[in-house]
């Protein structure tokens, strides 16, 4: 089905009108630069993550590392899509409007078709990439916290995130049923064969923020229940919160969505790696730094209790015995 040609008498109507593309004024060169930078930058952090696991903390690689590596690979692919789309004169090009006020419903050109195809692949890739990044953070938590309650909560969240990611993937994949061609056909066919994507994208954006908030705030409850100094609680909480740092103009609108999604995904990969590479700055193991998270009392608290019992031993022998038993029971 030929959806890129205009009517037979189109040449008699004069030159076609276009909408100057990119809602934020991005040129193809700028799009290529964004794709290259935000595809390559996370590579450094993923490399440091693996280096830190293997050479610095010697904690070994686990599910959270491999999940983040997979998220990075997909993020890199998203960057390549931006680069290819702009290089082949798709992204960053003007959108054809035809010759009359309603012609944009049925006219299109090669640039718009290419943009729609790349956007289709981009959104599917993004749905999986975001899910992998969230799962990586959850599995990272499970390496640190051994509480049965915490593991049950994270297990539930892992299932929810898995369904969330796969659900949005297939929801967009079959937006037009099996009429995939309608996604890059003129607008009239998109309206006829496909459901409105706005509710889907609004739901995706809102649920993305909600799940991020839940995941990032989850360990703080356990940290602040521990018997450690307030300064240490803030320090440990800070390590976990490092992860918080992720119309008619058809071509321009889709270009803007892809650019900001690319930036968000890259930040998600970088932020997800920050807690694991923190030991590189201090030359200590993150697992050692949050070792106290595995127990109800920190070593510092135990030492402080024992010291208090010792100091009071000479004047209160019975109290020494009672405190010693309390420390032993704790």
Q: pTM of the predicted model, to two decimals? A: 0.71
How many C-beta atoms lie closer than 10 Å to residue 138's C-beta? 20
| pLDDT of 274 | 83
DSSP class per residue in 269-308 = HHHHHHHHHTHHHHTS-HHHHTGGGGSSB-HHHHHHHHHH
What's the residue count for the chain?
A: 330
Closest to 127 (Cα-Cα) out of 71, 183, 196? 71
The residue ranges of every structural domain in the chain are 10-296, 297-330
Assign domain 10-296 one CATH number from 1.10.10, 1.20.1070, 3.30.420, 1.10.357.
1.20.1070
Q: What is the mean pLDDT, run by run of 10 residues, along the chain of 330 residues?
A: 45 54 68 92 93 87 95 95 89 65 64 86 93 93 84 94 95 92 82 86 87 81 52 48 47 73 88 82 51 42 45 40 38
Task: Indicate the SS3 state at residue 143.
Answer: helix
Measured CA angle at 213 (ends 149, 128), to 5 deg = 95
CA–CA separation, 172 vs 251, rounded Å? 18
Give yes or no for a contact between 65 and 51, defined as CB atoms under 8 angstroms apart: no
As given in the structure block, the two tokens for residue 2 are 């030929």
């Amino acid at each position: 089905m030929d959806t890129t040609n205009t009517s037979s008498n189109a040449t008699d109507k004069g030159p076609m009108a276009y909408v100057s593309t990119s809602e934020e004024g991005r040129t193809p060169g700028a799009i290529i630069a964004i794709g290259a930078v935000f595809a390559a930058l996370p590579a450094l952090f993923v490399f440091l993550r693996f280096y830190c696991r293997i050479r610095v903390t010697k904690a070994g690689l686990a599910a959270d590392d491999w999940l983040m590596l997979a998220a990075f690979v997909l993020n890199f692919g998203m960057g390549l899509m931006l680069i290819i789309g702009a290089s082949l004169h798709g992204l960053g090009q003007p959108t054809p409007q035809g010759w009359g006020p309603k012609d944009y419903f049925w006219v299109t050109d090669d640039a718009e078709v290419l943009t729609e195809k790349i956007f289709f692949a981009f959104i599917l890739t993004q749905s999986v990439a975001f899910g992998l990044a969230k799962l990586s953070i959850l599995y990272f938590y499970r390496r640190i916290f051994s509480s049965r309650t915490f593991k049950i909560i994270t297990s539930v969240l892992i299932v929810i995130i898995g369904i969330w990611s796969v659900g949005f993937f297939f929801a967009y994949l079959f937006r037009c049923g099996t009429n995939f061609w309608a996604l890059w056909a003129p607008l009239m066919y998109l309206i006829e064969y496909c459901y409105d994507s706005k509710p889907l994208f609004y739901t995706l954006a809102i649920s993305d923020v909600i799940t991020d908030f839940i995941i990032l705030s989850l360990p703080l409850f356990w940290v602040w229940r521990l018997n450690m100094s307030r300064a240490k609680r803030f320090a440990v909480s800070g390590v976990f919160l490092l992860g918080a740092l992720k119309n008619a103009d058809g071509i321009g609108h889709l270009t803007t969505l892809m650019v900001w999604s690319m930036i968000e995904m890259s930040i998600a990969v970088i932020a997800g790696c920050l807690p694991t590479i923190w030991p590189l700055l201090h030359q200590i193991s993150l697992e050692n730094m949050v070792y106290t998270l595995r127990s109800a009392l920190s070593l510092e608290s135990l030492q402080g209790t024992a010291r208090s019992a010792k100091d009071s031993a000479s004047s209160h022998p019975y109290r020494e015995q009672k405190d010693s038993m309390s420390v032993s029971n704790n």
